[in-house]
Each structure stands twice: as C-alpha cells, then as structure tokens.
Amino acid sequence: CAGLLTPLVCLSFSQDSQITRCFIKNFHNFRIMGSVEAALTLLDDLSTKDKRACIELLIRIFRNVVSHPDDSKYRTLKITNKTFNGDVWQHEAGRMVMKAAGWVTIGDTVQLPSHVNLTLELQVILANREVKPDEREWRNETKIIVPNAAKQREEELRRKALAEKEKEMAILRKEMAERKEIAERIRAEHRRDQETKRVKSAAKAVPRGKGETSKMTDLLPKSGGG
C-alpha cells in the first residue's frame, strides 16, 4: 500500500488533475476486481455441482443489475429465497463474492447500493465461469440407451411380419403333409383293388393229358337231369 500511496500523494499535488483522477479510478477498479477474484477462489472448496450452480446464479444476479441499473428490484434479494439461499448465500464463498462486489446485508435481505455498478465484477465472474470437474468426483461412464420411438415401432412391425410369415409357413407345411397322406392312401387303395381283381379273375382251362382228346360232351354244361 505504501508503494501505491506515495505516487498518489505526489500526483494529488500536481497540476494534471485528470491523470490523478484516472489513476485513482484504475486503482479502485483493480482493487474491486482483485477482491472479487480472490473471493471466487474460495469456491474451489465446493463440489463441482455446487460451484457451477453458485457461479451461474451470481452471473444472472449481476447481469440483471448491469442490464437494469435503475431498477431497484434487482438490487434487493431475499435471503429466504430458496434458490438464492441454496445456490449462493448458504456458502461462505458465495457470501464473500457478493460482499466483495458491494452487496450488504440488511435484515433478511441482501442489497446493493444504488451507486454501485457491477460491470467489472460481472466481467471477472464471466472470466472464471468455466468449472472443471474435480478428479475426486470422476465416475465411470454409464451408457444410457435412450429408446427411439420410430425404431421401436419399426422393430415391432418387423417382429409381427416375421410371426405372420412363420404362421403362413406352418399352414403350408400342414397342407403339404395332408396332401401327401391323401396321395399315399389313394395309392394304397389302388394296390388293394388290383390285388382283389387278380384273385377274382376266371381260372384258366387246364389241358388234358398227353394223347387224350376232348369230347363234345366236355364242352356242354353238366347238370343233374337226364
């Protein structure tokens, strides 16, 4: 501090007051940025999830103030607010960042004076926005297959088509077996008919012995009458 105050005192007595004001302004800005950045390092003690949630909410709060500098509602936050308390205020690091940026506690609220501009503070937080996961929090990757409705429908139709095809093939095989059975039955009946006809066919005439001659009476039917 002594090294910074010496040139400051010297410049205060110089005639170039514009340079003096510029130096004071830059010194003030560096002090603010340094304080906020130092407070942000305390967030490293939080888990990756909590740190990311804290930084993102701080960005939203500070950005609302920068975008609406004259709107007082963005400069007053209720500590009892579930989101604000859970993501920022319950963490000491979160409270330190807000206090370093100029927020003050009044009752059950955290308020930012109307003359405070958070442009620089927002830039510092945005520069430290990236949150890398801690090695201790690494987990083995788990493959999660998200069902695709179109593919599921296509697979279902394919299974139904295969089932219908299998059903048709079963019917065809049954019909072929029945036709084969009928053909075998017809052939069997035909063979039996042929055997029956051969048995019932007329006996052939047996020729007489050698030297014998047939008589006319042998050709006439035999009867018991005279």
Better-predicted residue by pLDDT, 8 or 77: 77
Region 52-78: mean pLDDT is: 94
Dump pLDDT digits (tens) for 142-164. Answer: 555 667 777 788 888 888 888 88
What integer pLDDT is reported at residue 88 of this predicted model?
Answer: 95
Better-predicted residue by pLDDT, 183 or 4: 183
User: Which residue blocks in 68-103 are alpha helix, DSSP H?
Assistant: 82-84, 92-101
User: Which residue blocks in the chain are alpha helix, DSSP H?
Assistant: 2-12, 17-41, 48-67, 82-84, 92-101, 119-127, 149-200, 216-219
What integer pLDDT is reported at residue 213 of this predicted model?
Answer: 52
What integer pLDDT is reported at residue 94 of this predicted model?
Answer: 94
Tokens standing for residue 143: 């493959």
Distance CA 184, CA 129 (A): 88
Region 89-94: mean pLDDT is: 94
- CA 131 → CA 127, 140, 195, 209, distances in Å? 11, 19, 100, 129
Quick one: pLDDT band at residue 99, thresholds 50, 70, 90? very high
Q: Is 123 exposed, middle or buried (0-12, 13-18, 19+ CB in 10 A)?
A: middle
Q: Comparing 52-66, 167-181, 211-225, which segment has the lowest mean pLDDT?
A: 211-225
Q: How many residues does the chain have?
A: 226
- Percent of the chain scoring above 70 in pLDDT: 66
Distance CA 222, CA 90 (A): 138
DSSP characters for 31-71?
HHHHHHHHHHHGGGGS-HHHHHHHHHHHHHHHHHHHH-TT-
Dump pLDDT digits (tens) for 18-52. Answer: 443 443 344 344 454 568 888 888 998 888 899 99
Does residue 9 carry a pLDDT above 50? no
Distance CA 197, CA 175 (A): 33
Residues forming a β-bridge with 78: 109
Better-predicted residue by pLDDT, 186 or 14: 186
Dump pLDDT digits (tens) for 166-211. Answer: 888 888 888 888 888 888 888 888 888 888 777 666 545 455 555 5
Does residue 56 carry a pLDDT above 50? yes
What integer pLDDT is reported at residue 12 of this predicted model?
Answer: 46
- CA 207 → CA 77, 111, 154, 185, 214, distances in Å? 139, 145, 87, 42, 9
What integer pLDDT is reported at residue 201 of this predicted model?
Answer: 63
Q: What is the DSSP letter of 90?
A: T
Region 53-79: mean pLDDT is: 94
What integer pLDDT is reported at residue 156 of this predicted model?
Answer: 87
Region 89-118: mean pLDDT is: 93
What integer pLDDT is reported at residue 1 of this predicted model?
Answer: 45
**In sequence order, what are the residues at sequence separation of 6 or more whose Cβ sits closer than 8 angstroms to the Cβ of residue 43?**
51, 54, 55, 91, 93, 94, 97
